[in-house]
């Protein structure tokens, strides 16, 4: 899942606003750590924005993979004379 920078910055703003309203220093520190992590995510993305694939569009290759058409059917055979049974001791 790809998240845009704008959504990350909106989440940062929410965390900062809730940290400003908070009186408990431990909770403030947790919220600031969340903001720091979100900043690191933005900075590690390399400055390029990756667009999300539009929902509902399925490529033909994805459809074949979901339907299992890419796999070849394997024939399973059992020969009791070879002793392949789990009950053979």
Mean pLDDT in runs of 10 for the chain (89 residues)?
81 91 91 90 68 61 66 63 66
Q: Could you list the residue range(s) of the whole structural domain that residue 30 is in?
A: 1-48
In a domain, 60, yes or no: no
Residue 58: which residues within 8 A CB-CB, separation 6 or more? Answer: 66
Total domains in the chain come to: 1
According to the model, what pLDDT value does residue 20 have? 93
In a domain, 79, yes or no: no
Cα separation, 31 vs 39, whole angstroms: 12
In a domain, 55, yes or no: no
In a domain, 7, yes or no: yes
The pTM of this model reads 0.49
According to the model, what pLDDT value does residue 50 have? 46
According to the model, what pLDDT value does residue 62 have? 73
According to the model, what pLDDT value does residue 80 have? 64
Measured in residues, the chain has a length of 89
According to the model, what pLDDT value does residue 76 have? 66
According to the model, what pLDDT value does residue 55 have? 58
Residue 86 is encoded by which pair of tokens?
């789990």
> Whose structure tokens read 């969340």?
34
């Amino acid at each position: 899942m790809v998240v845009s920078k704008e959504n990350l910055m909106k989440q940062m703003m929410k965390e900062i606003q809730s940290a400003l309203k908070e009186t408990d220093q431990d909770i403030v520190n947790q919220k600031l750590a969340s903001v720091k992590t979100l900043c690191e995510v933005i900075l590690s993305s390399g400055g390029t924005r990756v667009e999300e694939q539009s929902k509902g569009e399925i490529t033909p290759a994805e459809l074949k993979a979901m339907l299992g058409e890419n796999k070849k059917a394997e024939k399973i055979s059992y020969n009791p004379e070879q002793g392949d049974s789990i009950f053979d001791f």
